[in-house]
Chains A and B, each alone.
Chain A
Amino acid sequence: MRYLKPSSVSEAADVLESSRGMILAGGTDAYVYMAEGFCHPETLIDISSIDTLRGIYVATDDREEEVIRIGACTTIAEIAASQDLPTCLRQGARAVGSPQIRNLGTIGGNVCNASPCGDTLAPLLCLDARFVLRASGGTRVIACEDFFTGPKKTVLKPNEFLEFIELPASSCGKASAFRMIGNRKGQAISQANASVSLVMVDGRMSDLRVAVGSVAPVPLRLGKLEEFLTGKRVKEVSLAMFKEPILEGIRPIDDVRSSASYRQEVTVALVFDALAECASKDSGECEGAGA
């Protein structure tokens, strides 16, 4: 096996192009797969120490809009601790593994690993995140909604890697919350998770996004529910009312962690709970960048 450690993004893109190797960031998923024999890469391309891939800052995107940019190799711990990111993303990051895993694991790894239960995926989806993908020929940008194609499957081509994640600057002005249920505290994979972002206008919900994870092959936006809730006051809605729009949207499976029917039920409770937290604040709470 070859192990390469490029020092810049362009060098990384070039060696990826020529070797079609496997990108390695924190290795918290990748090493497990290798140890279990799920994959046998000939070349490992370690991008974890490329400086420009790390950090959270304000930038201007390809559409000349102001965005919060997150380098793909920013660690989960850094996401969790950042004051410059929306609540739901920080809460999602905090739900990942243990301190050791959060210190090594990266948000790019969580995204590109594309596990249906990745804890930052629903938050990114409900924040209208966009992903900047890099190849030796240049970059392309793709919406989070279009990135995931199945469990562990994405639109990434063999010669591409994730360079940045971008959130609209406005996402910091939104109220947001993430909820998950696992079978113990810490080091537990989500049996289901939910993320909500919204803006309260005169006490009514607007600009609402609801996303759920672990209940379908890919993280899902619940458009029907968003429609149903938009313009309503939180007090007007009850758990029973939005059961239907949620259950219509999701396709959970039975596995060792949970049954499909429990996942359905608990998703409703998680969304409701997240919504209640959002409604209890009237604005976003991140300071600094973009707010």
Chain B
Amino acid sequence: MSDRAKNFATVGKSLRKVDGVALVTGKPEFVADLQLPDTLIVKVLGSPFAHARIVSIDVSAAEAMPGVACVLTHKNTPTTRHTTAGQGFPEPSPYDTRMFENKVRFVGDRVAAVAADSEEIAEAALKAIRVEYEELPAVLSIDEARRDGAPVIHDEPDSTGIYDVVRNIVADVDIDVGDVVQGFDESDEIVEVTCETQYAQHTPIETHVVLSYLDSANRLVLRTSTQVPFHVRRIVAQTLGIPMQQIRVIKPRIGGGFGTKQEILLEDVAGLISMRTGRPALLSLTRKEEFASSRTRHPMRVRVKLGAMKDGRLHAIEMEATSNTGAYGSHGLTVLANTGSKTLPLYNKAPNAHFYGQAVYTNLPVGGAYRGYGATQGYFPLETAMDEMADRLGMDPIELRRINHIQLGETSPIFEKLGEGREGVSQTVKSCELPRCIEIGSERIGWSKKRGKRLTIGPWVHGIGMSIMMQGSGIPEIDMAAATIKMNEDGSFNLLIGATDLGTGSDTILAQIAAEVLGVPLDKMLVVSSDTDLTPFDVGAYASSTTYVSGMAVQRAAEKVRDQIVRVAAPLLDASADELTLRDNAVFAPAGTSVSLARVCQRAMYETDQFQIGATASCVPHESPAPFLANFAEVAVNRETGKVKVVHYVAAVDCGVAINPQLAEGQMEGAIVNGIGYALTEEMILSSKGRVRNPSLFDYKIPGMLDVPPMDIILVESYEPTGPMGAKSVGEIGINGPIPTIANAIYDAVGIRLTETPFTPERVLQAMKEASS
């Protein structure tokens, strides 16, 4: 633990989650747990075709069915172009989406919605809708998308923000540092690797769900499972063309997001139904609909070329990424940009670097935000190429990384050149324990004992691999979070935050930060979060921002409140305000005399110069300090079946001060298991017509408990001077590790380089066969 972190009373402790007891005792906390009388059930009709024009649509039979309250199609809904991506305004994603349209662009694209008294009636009504489609030629791969004469997916005139409509290119990024061509010429050794990643989904246990209703003042309330309540309010107002003040968004507890709920997918439909009918409306996706029509991780092809000198110093790095955003450009530009911006600064010693790439439309499922946000796709080839480079140079892969990775006090030109789809923000590294992460992790896995030994037990051959990485903490100069704290006369506090707890534990850690500043135990902090009527603004939970950005807003608000408290307490203690300290529910003077917080607040409320002790503060970060991670894995590869087992996984992470170590470990564990699924089993399999063939958790395999290997999560603490209580972030970084780490371990075991995920037994066996022939 860093010295500065040692003196904390509440921060740095693994306290229980503030919402934990309610959740484990089954309290009705989730969106669909709220049952309102006369609630309509909404069902959505999805397109059966990857690309088609709707020639005609006849809903008269559906509308005539008893129990059907409302049918929506492109004929009776607003036509505003918008993006479903819940990002800061103006969004860097193209406005290429309408609520409903006379054209469908992927299998599952929205054609109509029915609201009825029951699910059975709604489903029967969907079947009664007659749609005549004119099927159009479809674009089913990134290669087809940019071909001359390829079908144009967004040929409508009113979409904006698309880089090249005719060639189906959503976004284009190209940045240079130095001169890579010359850099490669001067290099002693060159390695080039191209990797492809698959369509994968977030699979939160709770699918997308929204309950909408009108309150007594006829305002629209959206109780929704979202990561971005304030963006929901803004984008629904924009889409429906109603004043924002007519909308209130409430996020109750939610059953996971992982990025897929940084998207406004259902709220406009349910909201419009409530406005039209005056009745509550519940729209909840089935797992099948979730797979077909929600969001995915952008599949990518990423090529990395490294040039190094004989002594291992990297001299040039080039990364070229092609991203498949599917039918709509949600997060297309920014995920692409992050593929470079979150990876290349790691190897800042290379004087020459080049990142370029494009995000293209296809008539396939739509990409979106997904934990890791492009970095996951970039680290696969980057860390594979580093491993290969070490091999070529005859160096230990750890040593090659040690001499090339970014260090404390250093910077990278990439920080400034490449940001959130535009220029970034220059910054130097102010906290970095990556060297210790590498050291501790390599000892724990037994690197020097096991590497290259190929321990063989029957058909199983063991191998060891590693990788390192960094991420960011929020989006500098763009993200904004605010917090309000007000004091009650019993010495408790209301903490009102726009920040969005997805199950991550942010309500808990933000309360810990406030409690630390105000010298009270956690149970004196009463948290209300994510209600656009009650809580101040926050962009929401994405980009690993909550601890760093929202946490800083909370710390500042708490400090303002502390200043008010000591001003009130000073006359009571006969001391000057600036020498007072807060701890144990009281204010202490240097002499040891004290007055309780309750007493202080009573004075402020009832006695003299009365006022409400309370404050609001905001944070806009000026940089995005990186958490760092060293991953190590031992795997066993079955030479006969191609099956890969992860035997042991070690992750040593520097996330700054861990506000709640157990929750930080939980984030890492979850991210690694998520990443192991992405590396080994998870894949949305598409038919030749673009339909998802395995839209169920039965056929889309996320890891089960039995698949979780023994994991060592080691928090290697640093103190980030710009963060709240020294914290950075830990939400995303872990998911980037498993693919390259497992790939490198497989190479150590059986000498094959896998470049396509997931590493199914079939692919592994095939690669072994090719290598031996």
Across the interface, which residues of A come within 8 angstroms of B459, CB to CB? 269, 273
Separation of A188 and B700 alpha carbons in the complex (Å):
10
Separation of A139 and B701 alpha carbons in the complex (Å):
42
Separation of A239 and B641 alpha carbons in the complex (Å):
12
Instruction: In the complex, identify which listed stretch (A61-69, A116-124, A201-209, A254-262) lies at the interface while the others stay far away.
Output: A254-262
- Any chain A CB within 8 A of the CB of B760? yes
> B641 is contacted by which of A184, A188, A257, A269 (Cβ under 8 Å)?
A269
- Any chain B CB within 8 A of the CB of A265? yes
Across the interface, which residues of A come within 8 angstroms of B523, CB to CB? none
The answer to whether A186 and B706 touch across the interface, beta carbons within 8 angstroms, is yes
**Given A258-B762, A269-B459: A186 and B641 within 8 A (CB)?**
no
CB of B708 to closest CB in A, whole Å = 9
> B706 is contacted by which of A185, A239, A266, A272 (Cβ under 8 Å)?
A185
The answer to whether B641 and A181 touch across the interface, beta carbons within 8 angstroms, is yes
The answer to whether B765 and A239 touch across the interface, beta carbons within 8 angstroms, is no
- We find that the number of chain A residues with CB closer than 8 angstroms to chain B is 22
Across the interface, which residues of A come within 8 angstroms of B424, CB to CB? none
Across the interface, which residues of A come within 8 angstroms of B707, CB to CB? 184-186
Query: Hey, what's the 0/1 contact readout for B204-221 against A, CB within 8 Å counting as 1?
Result: 000000000000000000
**Given A185-B707, A273-B640: A266 and B701 within 8 A (CB)?**
no
The answer to whether A184 and B681 touch across the interface, beta carbons within 8 angstroms, is yes
Separation of A186 and B702 alpha carbons in the complex (Å):
11
Interface residues of A in 247-282 (CB under 8 A from B): 256-259, 262, 265-266, 269-270, 272-273
Interface residues of A in 2-59 (CB under 8 A from B): none
> A185 is contacted by which of B685, B704, B762 (Cβ under 8 Å)?
B704
**Given A186-B704, A266-B765: A256 and B699 within 8 A (CB)?**
yes
Interface residues of A in 135-164 (CB under 8 A from B): none
- Any chain A CB within 8 A of the CB of B329? no
Across the interface, which residues of B come within 8 angstroms of A269, CB to CB? 459, 638, 640-641
Separation of A262 and B703 alpha carbons in the complex (Å):
22
- Any chain B CB within 8 A of the CB of A187? yes
> B693 is contacted by which of A185, A256, A259 (Cβ under 8 Å)?
A256
> B640 is contacted by which of A191, A239, A258 (Cβ under 8 Å)?
A239
- Any chain A CB within 8 A of the CB of B643? yes
The answer to whether A270 and B699 touch across the interface, beta carbons within 8 angstroms, is no
Across the interface, which residues of A come within 8 angstroms of B681, CB to CB? 183-184
Interface size class on chain B is 20 to 34
CB of A188 to closest CB in B, whole Å = 7
**Given A269-B459, A270-B641, A273-B640: A184 and B762 within 8 A (CB)?**
no
Across the interface, which residues of A come within 8 angstroms of B693, CB to CB? 256
Q: Is the interface of A mostly helix, strand, loop or mixed?
A: loop
The answer to whether B640 and A262 touch across the interface, beta carbons within 8 angstroms, is no
The answer to whether A187 and B704 touch across the interface, beta carbons within 8 angstroms, is yes
- Any chain A CB within 8 A of the CB of B642? yes
The answer to whether B704 and A265 touch across the interface, beta carbons within 8 angstroms, is no
CB of B675 to closest CB in A, whole Å = 15
Across the interface, which residues of A come within 8 angstroms of B705, CB to CB? 186
Interface residues of B in 648-706 (CB under 8 A from A): 680-681, 685, 693-694, 698-699, 701, 703-706
- Any chain A CB within 8 A of the CB of B67? no
Separation of A188 and B701 alpha carbons in the complex (Å):
8
The answer to whether B701 and A184 touch across the interface, beta carbons within 8 angstroms, is yes
Separation of A28 and B183 alpha carbons in the complex (Å):
62
The answer to whether A266 and B761 touch across the interface, beta carbons within 8 angstroms, is yes
Across the interface, which residues of B come within 8 angstroms of A266, CB to CB? 640-642, 761, 765
Separation of A174 and B638 alpha carbons in the complex (Å):
28
Across the interface, which residues of B come within 8 angstroms of A273, CB to CB? 458-459, 640
Separation of A266 and B639 alpha carbons in the complex (Å):
10
Across the interface, which residues of B come within 8 angstroms of A239, CB to CB? 640
Across the interface, which residues of B come within 8 angstroms of A188, CB to CB? 701
Separation of A270 and B698 alpha carbons in the complex (Å):
23
Separation of A4 and B596 alpha carbons in the complex (Å):
70
CB of A233 to closest CB in B, whole Å = 19
Across the interface, which residues of B come within 8 angstroms of A265, CB to CB? 765
CB of B324 to closest CB in A, whole Å = 20
Separation of A273 and B694 alpha carbons in the complex (Å):
30
Interface residues of A in 165-185 (CB under 8 A from B): 181, 183-185
Separation of A2 and B641 alpha carbons in the complex (Å):
47
Across the interface, which residues of B come within 8 angstroms of A258, CB to CB? 762
Of all chain A residues, the one with the shortest Cβ separation from B676 is A184
Across the interface, which residues of B come within 8 angstroms of A98, CB to CB? 704
Separation of A272 and B698 alpha carbons in the complex (Å):
29
Separation of A181 and B705 alpha carbons in the complex (Å):
18
The answer to whether A184 and B761 touch across the interface, beta carbons within 8 angstroms, is no
Across the interface, which residues of B come within 8 angstroms of A272, CB to CB? 640
Separation of A259 and B478 alpha carbons in the complex (Å):
47
The answer to whether A184 and B640 touch across the interface, beta carbons within 8 angstroms, is no
Separation of A239 and B640 alpha carbons in the complex (Å):
10
Separation of A266 and B642 alpha carbons in the complex (Å):
8
Across the interface, which residues of B come within 8 angstroms of A185, CB to CB? 704, 706-707
Known A-B contacts: A183-B760, A187-B704, A265-B765. Give 15 more (CB < 8 A).
A181-B643, A181-B761, A184-B681, A184-B704, A185-B704, A186-B706, A187-B698, A262-B761, A262-B762, A262-B766, A269-B459, A269-B638, A270-B641, A273-B458, A273-B640
For this complex, 22 residue pairs linking A to B, each with C-beta atoms less than 8 Å apart, are A181-B643, A181-B761, A183-B681, A183-B701, A183-B760, A184-B680, A184-B706, A184-B707, A186-B704, A186-B707, A187-B704, A191-B761, A239-B640, A256-B685, A257-B699, A259-B762, A262-B762, A262-B765, A265-B765, A270-B641, A272-B640, A273-B640
The 6 A-B pairs at the shortest CB distance, nearest first, are namely: A269-B640, A185-B706, A262-B762, A186-B706, A256-B694, A183-B701
